[in-house]
């Protein structure tokens, strides 16, 4: 009974195997009767067997063989017997020495000596450096429905292989053994009396041939941005959050004509298409067409029609106390922009008078222990530079008319000098640039406006300090929009009205960011750092772009400022590096130390149009090409 039960079990196994074979076998059958081809019910197949490798190969050289279109490639690898290898090398060295001794001309002697030296070097590596010698056997399977077309494929592929110094052939009457080899180990293949011995190769050379070096970036909600050098997709979404990607800020650097502007426009297009909020700083006017295409609004600065009051308090945090504190920091930074040489005492005095001004306008964040609403009011509720000047004149008159003893008179005199310096600055702003800085905000409510393009092209001819002040104020306005949207989205998620992936994001694109983010403007770096740190809390991402890494770190910056600019770089999750000049390579190496490999850094000056190296902090590096469709070329119209 036991024997009969075992027999039934074996029959069940065989039946199960037959069922499996029925499911996976070539439909229509398969035959190996032809001396060259394998014939199935619907196609012809053959095997090109590599029987000789090139003398010299490049990195990832196996990719040349495994990446051939419409083929199946098998690579069998085994290890040589090290003692047998040494014996054969010893025999080869003796043979080459004998040939050299009996050579009849210089060429024969040279060739024999060269081969002997190669063998000696290999013997040294095996004996002393523990080099391993491997056996590699490569087969390329090709198929087609028609025999004539298959012959064409074989001919074409053979020529390509030959041009790359590979020798290949179809072994006659070996079709079945070649086909079966796909399912056998190298050791099993060698049991066949007519088997072909593989090619001997050093382990290091084989390792350098790694064909599986392909890289790709495929974010779950990413859109197609381009392709890596090995053909992998780059599906990018800056708002992807993982264990290593924790915030959404980016740094983009690229020289003229490198593809930086096209990249920024693609990010604009992607977020606009998703329905996210987009705020872009346009210093050349090239984003206007894209903004109009998506129904956005263009706000042009540089005329009396557009006014953004620097004294208007904008949202910057979760409560009015934080809003007021950050606004006062912004005002101090504004003054430092206007007077780069201002002393710390002068900035403090300017800030103290501004605080008194807000008290006169009942715009203090804390009144009798209760939070006072100071943001989102009508433009006329906020003071202007003229109001500040009026208060300043009263302060000067008050101090001038005061009675002082011998001790206090010197303090009063110094205060008057400081106030007079502040007065000269404020009067200069009012009487020279009052049309763009002194007055109530004329920009209507834009909180619900999806796309805003701030055209500041007319400002670039103005004095640098005025240009910086306007940009800085506009960035504060963008931050106000980002905070308002973020608070609203977070509240809707908390109430269960939307899922986290349905949140509307805010992307702020700032081209030519070096105008206000660099080591010479240390007073602005603290606020910039604050914005970059807090953006993720409000579903926002800030992209800083410039032509050169040197723009952010000009000569003359202090050690403290350099540390702060490095902090700014650290707070950008993504670094997109397009072509840069060779003279900034040392600076790149210093800024991105241990982030980019030496090969990647040295490759930066040779990057072609659209080529880019992406460093994701805490994650991987990618080399890819930004893909631009014909439709995008027409839409972007100008600027690389």
* CA-closest candidate to residue 196, choices 174, 166, 221: 174
Q: Which two tokens stand for residue 268?
A: 């604009």
Q: Which two tokens stand for residue 565?
A: 């600019």
By CB atoms closer than 10 A (0-12, 13-18, 19+), residue 608 is: exposed
Q: Which domains does the chain have, with CATH numbers?
A: 29-208 (no CATH), 270-304+442-572 (3.40.50), 309-440 (1.10.8.730)
* CA-closest candidate to residue 578, choices 608, 553, 617, 616: 608
* CA-closest candidate to residue 94, choices 119, 74, 131, 75: 119
Q: Please work out, in degrees rounded to the nearest 5, the angle formed at the alpha carbon of residue 98 by the alpha carbons of 92 and 104.
A: 130
**For the chain, what is the total number of helices (H) and then of strands (E)?**
21, 21
On whether the CB atoms of residues 174 and 194 are closer than 8 A, the answer is yes
**DSSP class of 502:** G
User: Would the CA dihedral through 27, 29, 32, 37 be positive or negative?
Assistant: negative
Confidence label for 528 from pLDDT (cuts 50, 70 and 90): confident
**DSSP class of 612:** E
Q: What is the distance of C-alpha 33 from the center of its chain?
A: 55
Helix axes of 320-338 and 464-494: crossing angle, nearest 10 degrees: 160
By CB atoms closer than 10 A (0-12, 13-18, 19+), residue 301 is: buried
Query: Residue 333: is its pLDDT beyond 80?
Result: yes
* CA-closest candidate to residue 614, choices 360, 259, 278, 317: 259
Q: Which pLDDT value is given to residue 5?
A: 46
Q: Which pLDDT value is given to residue 397?
A: 93
Helix or strand (DSSP H, E) at 205: helix 203-208
Pairing of strands 506-510, 277-282: parallel
pTM: predicted TM-score of the whole model, two decimal places: 0.71
**DSSP class of 445:** P
On whether the CB atoms of residues 249 and 532 are closer than 8 A, the answer is yes
> What is the average pLDDT across 571-594?
89
On whether the CB atoms of residues 247 and 535 are closer than 8 A, the answer is yes
Lowest mean pLDDT among 120-129, 131-140, 312-321, 454-463: 120-129
- Read off the pLDDT of residues 468-478 as tens digits, 9 standing for 90 and up: 888 888 888 99
Query: Residue 595: is its pLDDT beyond 60?
Result: yes
Range list of H helices, 311-384 = 320-338, 344-360
Average pLDDT score over the chain: 88
Confidence label for 119 from pLDDT (cuts 50, 70 and 90): confident
- Read off the pLDDT of residues 121-138 as tens digits, 9 standing for 90 and up: 777 777 766 778 888 999
- Read off the pLDDT of residues 268-313 as tens digits, 9 standing for 90 and up: 999 999 999 999 998 888 899 999 999 999 998 876 678 899 999 9
Residue entry with tokens 């197609």: 224
């Amino acid at each position: 009974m036991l024997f009969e039960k075992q027999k039934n079990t074996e029959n069940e196994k065989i039946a199960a195997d037959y069922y499996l074979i029925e499911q996976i076998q070539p439909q229509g059958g398969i035959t190996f009767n032809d001396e060259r081809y394998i014939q199935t019910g619907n196609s012809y197949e053959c095997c090109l067997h590599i029987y000789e490798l090139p003398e010299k190969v490049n990195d990832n050289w196996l990719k040349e063989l495994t990446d051939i279109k419409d083929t199946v490639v098998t690579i069998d690898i085994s290890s040589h017997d090290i003692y047998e290898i040494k014996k054969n090398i010893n025999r080869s060295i003796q043979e080459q020495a004998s040939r050299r001794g009996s050579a009849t001309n210089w060429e024969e002697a040279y060739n024999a000596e060269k081969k002997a030296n190669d063998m000696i070097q290999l013997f040294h590596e095996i004996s002393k450096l523990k080099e391993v010698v491997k056996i590699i056997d490569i087969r390329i399977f090709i198929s087609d429905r028609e025999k004539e077309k298959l012959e064409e494929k074989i001919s074409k592929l053979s020529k390509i292989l030959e041009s790359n110094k590979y020798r290949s052939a179809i072994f006659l009457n070996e079709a079945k053994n070649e086909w079966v080899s796909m399912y056998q180990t190298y050791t099993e293949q060698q049991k066949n009396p007519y088997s072909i011995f593989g090619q001997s190769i050093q382990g290091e050379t084989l390792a350098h041939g790694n064909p599986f070096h392909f890289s790709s970036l495929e974010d779950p909600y990413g859109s197609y941005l381009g392709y890596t050098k090995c053909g992998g997709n780059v599906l990018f979404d800056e708002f992807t959050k993982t264990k290593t990607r924790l915030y959404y800020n980016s740094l983009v650097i690229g020289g003229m004509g490198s593809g930086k502007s096209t990249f920024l426009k693609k990010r604009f297009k992607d977020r606009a298409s998703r329905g996210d909020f987009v705020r872009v700083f346009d210093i050349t006017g090239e984003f206007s067409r894209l903004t109009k295409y998506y129904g956005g609004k263009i706000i042009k600065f540089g005329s009396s029609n557009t006014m953004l009051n620097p004294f208007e308090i904008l949202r910057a945090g979760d409560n009015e106390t934080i809003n007021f504190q950050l606004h006062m920091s912004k005002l101090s930074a504004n003054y430092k922009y206007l007077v780069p040489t201002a002393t710390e005492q002068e900035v403090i005095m300017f800030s103290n008078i501004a605080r008194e001004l807000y008290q006169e306008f009942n715009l203090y964040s804390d009144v009798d222990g209760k939070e006072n609403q100071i943001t989102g009011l009508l433009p006329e509720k906020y003071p202007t530079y003229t109001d500040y000047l009026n208060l300043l004149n009263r302060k000067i008159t008050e101090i001038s008319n005061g009675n002082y003893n011998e001790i206090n008179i010197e303090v009063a005199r110094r205060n008057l000098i400081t106030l007079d310096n502040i007065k000269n600055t404020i009067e200069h702003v009012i009487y020279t640039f009052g049309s763009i800085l002194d007055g109530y905000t004329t920009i209507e409510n834009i909180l619900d406006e999806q796309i805003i393009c701030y055209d500041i092209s007319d400002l670039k001819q103005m004095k640098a300090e005025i240009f910086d002040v306007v940009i800085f104020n506009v960035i504060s306005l963008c931050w106000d929009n980002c905070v308002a949207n973020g608070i609203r989205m977070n509240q809707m998620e908390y109430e269960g009205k939307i899922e986290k992936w349905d949140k509307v994001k805010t992307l702020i694109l700032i081209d030519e960011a070096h105008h206000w983010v660099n080591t010479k403007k240390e007073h602005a770096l603290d606020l910039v750092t604050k914005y970059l740190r807090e953006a993720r809390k409000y579903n926002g991402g800030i992209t800083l772009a410039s032509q050169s890494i040197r723009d952010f770190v000009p000569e003359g910056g202090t050690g403290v400022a350099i540390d702060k600019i490095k902090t700014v770089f650290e707070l950008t999750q993504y670094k997109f590096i397009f072509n840069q000049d060779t003279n900034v390579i040392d600076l790149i190496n210093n800024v991105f130390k241990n982030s980019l490999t030496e090969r990647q850094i040295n490759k930066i000056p040779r990057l072609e149009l659209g080529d880019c190296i992406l460093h994701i902090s805490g994650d991987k590096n990618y080399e890819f090409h930004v893909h631009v469709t014909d439709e995008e070329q027409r839409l972007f119209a100008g600027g690389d």
